[in-house]
Amino acid sequence: MKNQILQFGTSRFLQAHADLFVHEAREAGQDIGPITVVKTTHSLERAGRVAAFGDPSGYQVRIRGLSDGALVERSVWVRSVVAGLDAHENWPQVQDEFVCRTAIVICNVGEAGYAVSAEDIALGPDDSKLPAGFPAKLLRLLLARFYGGALPLLILPCELISENGKVLRGVLRDLAITWKLDDSFLTWLGAQVNICNTLVDRIVSEPLEPIGAITEPYALWAIEASDPLTIPFSHPAIVVTDDLTPFLRLKLHILNLGHSFLAQIWMAEKHQPDETVREILNDPDILMRLTELYRQDIVPGFTVWGMRAEAQAYVISTLERFRNPYLNHRLSDIFHNHALKVQRRGADFLTWVRQRDATFKMELVDRLVKAVAL
């Protein structure tokens, strides 16, 4: 079990991100994996994926787009995943894998996936019924691991939540206290279960069926760890850092805010329902408006924090990613939870910059935040 991985989440993002990285590390001779994927929800929609993960031929990831102005188009058959399990159908097997064979956990259960329901709280640790939510499931598994030998564990959450590792640890600890678990378990959880903060960055625009994905060349997995040896494999897209803040701010307030800026134009100006990021930027006026957002507000805002060069470089990369001729990234998808996204991407940027300069003006970001607030 030295470096075997149990992954919670079947998403096409993980297939083209973490799973692909593990595959490429294994191809390079590194001792990492393999991966067993666990479906955590009752959704029938993804049931076909579970069976497909057991195909020894693997699945295809098509990497298509621009990189430093050059077209990239290649395919990789990912063979790092060896099995798929359904938590609600195969719980004993999931628990056996977690307790006896897993060294690393990867998860991506969505921004709402850390919620703990009243029903899960009421179940407690000993109820025979399986909890519905991911945190309660994970806590049950951690408790079984503790009583099964208390082996150390590394958890790499990939949810798009600021300080996702810290948040997940807090959710687990609070639930453990609510369930009145022993202090010895809480001590082990704090000392032997390393839950890292991470940031993932890659646009995975389309699924392949039954599994597989189409993705862009750009990829980043930034992992906050005081000791690089905590991460038992390396990859060109993995950065181990003692501070995730610069990576988080660049992604959130340049790439993500740029997406929300375009989504607001798409909605307010009544563009075609299936319009993509690439298509809307074929309009020179809209491209100019986005470029002006970056030039007038975003890069100067980062300059206040001493990050001008990093922001300028990330803007160039972002515009290239947005113009990717192969990715069909629909603005209707980006528009989901628009108000919440604008709050995190725009309003939080205003707050962050004005911590350093209370009088700093950002007219275009202000206008976007106010328009959505209305």
193 and 132 together in one domain: yes
135-171 residue pLDDT tens: 999 999 999 999 999 999 999 999 988 899 999 999 9
- Chosen domain end from 243, 273, 289: 243
197 and 278 together in one domain: no
Q: Which domain holds residue 175?
A: 5-243
- Chosen domain end from 211, 243, 275: 243
76 and 87 together in one domain: yes
**Domains: count for the chain:** 2
Q: H or E segment at 353?
A: helix 348-356
Please tell me the pTM assigned to this model: 0.89
Cβ atoms of 139 and 186 within 8 Å: the answer is no
Q: What is the pLDDT of residue 41?
A: 86
87-138 residue pLDDT tens: 999 999 999 999 999 999 999 998 789 999 999 999 989 888 999 999 999 9
Number of Cα atoms under 13 Å in the Cβ half of residue 328: 7
Residue at 120: amino acid letter: D
146 and 23 together in one domain: yes
- The CATH number linked to 360 is 1.10.1040.10
218-237 residue pLDDT tens: 999 999 986 666 788 999 99
In angstroms, the CA 53 to CA 50 distance is: 6
In angstroms, the CA 6 to CA 298 distance is: 39
- Chosen domain end from 228, 243, 258: 243
